[in-house]
Chains A and B, each alone.
Chain A
């Protein structure tokens, strides 16, 4: 008998075999579950150790433990969602998708555990006066376009204040300006990511319409601020 810790053969089951074994007789089910868990753990470990520059301070052992815990949770989630597997991809790819989502969600929650939307408000001054201190020295506006830039900043400020609702403003500030993940902002707003995506989509569209109504095309703004 093979020592499981030493080597677990990653026999490539067909999608049908995976489904049959995961829902089948106890022995086959236990083997399939263990293979699945191990497979997910490898993938997660690879991701944490090779693809995440923010986790380089963790030891191999710590990453291994994280991967093990996440793989355990992911396996349960896969089993709970077996009914939604459509068979468009390999079963293991679909399961890995679920594991990735879970792992990344976990990382986002721990990174942004202290994030709050308080203070993100469109009340008062939104943009500072467009003077030299807004721009790093090397991109300081030339006298010719300084006035133009200041004017555009005012128009953007007006668009942010007038076109968006408070909720849209908060969401857009957090996601677009502070790079906070949608998932985190959605949680803080008491909604879900899908609904937040739609809210942001509307906010961006309204902002764009408002700027265009003030005569500002996106091409023009890009040129003005990217030279």
Chain B
């Protein structure tokens, strides 16, 4: 079976090449270790790039870690704003 590459896929491929970097960047495990601390500060309004640029770089090119980071930030924001109390 042959893959057939459509325009959207071509864009994805180019994007993934563009976001690649030559330097050795953080792996998923190292990223995960920093995620709680980082998410806590981002939920309070800080910018990732100002805090841990190497983690920010990893999050840009790793969808799995990014999804987990976003979920954690969303929960923390809800918690900070009292929305979780409404859940009971």
Contacts and interface: CB of A to CB of B under 8 A. Distances in A.
Contacts of B79: 43
B60 interface: no
A183 B22 contact: no
Interface residues of A, number: 60
A175 B67 CA distance: 14
Secondary structure type dominating chain B contacts? helix
B46 interface: no
B7 A225 contact: yes
A204 to B, nearest CB: 3
Nearest to A209: B22
A104 interface: yes
A47 B71 contact: yes
B84 A42 contact: yes
Contacts of B68: 97, 100-101, 104
Interface in B38-84: 39-40, 61-64, 67-68, 71-72, 74-76, 78-79, 83-84
Interface stretch (A19-27, A28-36, A85-93): A85-93
17 contacts: A42-B87, A43-B84, A47-B75, A89-B39, A121-B3, A126-B5, A127-B5, A139-B7, A153-B10, A177-B3, A181-B64, A193-B28, A194-B29, A201-B20, A204-B19, A205-B20, A205-B22
Interface of A: 7, 10, 42-43, 45-47, 50-51, 86, 88-90, 93-94, 96-97, 100-101, 103-104, 119-121, 123-128, 134-136, 139, 153, 156, 172-173, 175-177, 179, 181-183, 193-194, 197-198, 201, 204-205, 207-208, 211, 218, 221-222, 225-226
